[in-house]
Amino acid sequence: MIPAIQVENVVKRYGELTALAGVSLEIAQGEFFGLLGPNGAGKTTLISILAGLSIATSGSARVMGSDVVKQYRQSRRALGVVPQELVFDPFFTVREALTIQSGYFGIRDNRAWIDELLHHLDLTEKADTNMRRLSGGMKRRVLIGQALVHKPQVIVLDEPTAGVDVELRQSLWRFIRNLNQQGHTIVLTTHYLEEAQSLCGRIAMLKQGKIVVNDTTQNLLNRHTGFYVTLKLAPSELPAALTPWLVGPADEGYRLALTEYTQLEHVMAVLRSAGTQVLEMEVLQPDLEEVFVKLMKEQRA
């Protein structure tokens, strides 16, 4: 089976600035894939190359086996992109915007699918509303609809929930999960790492135009051994014997980093010996944000 996305040694330069420095990446059909990185890492540049909005300085990129330059009609038909920026035409209603977008792909009668999109994106009541009258969150819903209007096999979501309310975020992910279960390949970029952790089976992290890690989400989480304990104490002072494990404050308390659960017994013994009462205690497993911060620091070093 051909990959959904295949990127081979892609370099992109803007004058003296190198946005991508030899990126190679392969995403299988049907994956829910996360593309993460700090601002300026090259994520949007890579997406722009896949979408044909920018041309790589060197290297090649394919979507569903079609070269994004030599076979751009096929590659663009296979790809739907939800951009990070709110871009809309203020002269049309929501339904008109989706109908016009359908026309770009040669789809003459797309009413049934447009109605389904409007329903899943909670836009049915806004279908005949002019785009300029919509809130920012509503406009983002329309952008998602425009990206899906031609039923692309590969869907790229570039910060799709930025500025979106919780209710829409939950309904959106239910819809996207369903599309993924139907066989659509999903590529997600987000700064909400808890979203990537819960949704993505595999993740690549970029920094300064290079992929620094590409692994399953579970393998990335397994890289961070140990766990955290947050404590709220009375009196509030932490016994000196526990300060080597201290990693920072936590809601008017303390956060300790431990590597083994047997150490928790020692923590409690020290607190009892000091006459310190535990008012609140929570044991936390490391999450993707911890792994992300650690990997970015390692690359800086």
Domains observed in the chain = 5-218 (3.40.50.300), 225-285 (3.30.70)
Rounded Cα–Cα distance for residues 194 and 200 (Å): 10
| 3-class state of residue 292 by DSSP | helix
Rounded Cα–Cα distance for residues 66 and 33 (Å): 20
| 3-class state of residue 270 by DSSP | helix
- Please report where in the chains the tokens 């009668």 appear, as a residue: 109
Q: Are the CB atoms for 180 and 186 separated by under 8 Å?
A: yes
Length reported for the chain: 301
The burial of 47, by beta-carbon neighbours within 10 Å (0-12 exposed, 13-18 middle, 19 or more buried), is given as buried
pTM (two decimals): 0.80
Helix (H) or strand (E) holding 78: none
- pLDDT of the residue at 150: 94
Per-residue pLDDT of the chain (301 residues; tens, 9 = 90+): 899 999 999 999 999 999 999 999 999 999 999 999 988 899 999 999 999 999 999 999 999 999 999 999 999 999 999 988 887 888 899 999 999 999 989 898 899 999 999 998 889 999 999 999 988 888 888 998 999 999 999 999 998 877 677 877 888 888 889 999 999 999 999 888 889 999 999 999 999 999 999 999 988 887 776 788 999 999 989 999 999 999 877 777 898 988 888 899 999 999 999 999 999 999 887 788 877 877 777 765 4
Which value, to the nearest 10 degrees, does the dihedral of the CA atoms of residues 217, 223, 227, 230 take? -70
- pLDDT of the residue at 301: 47
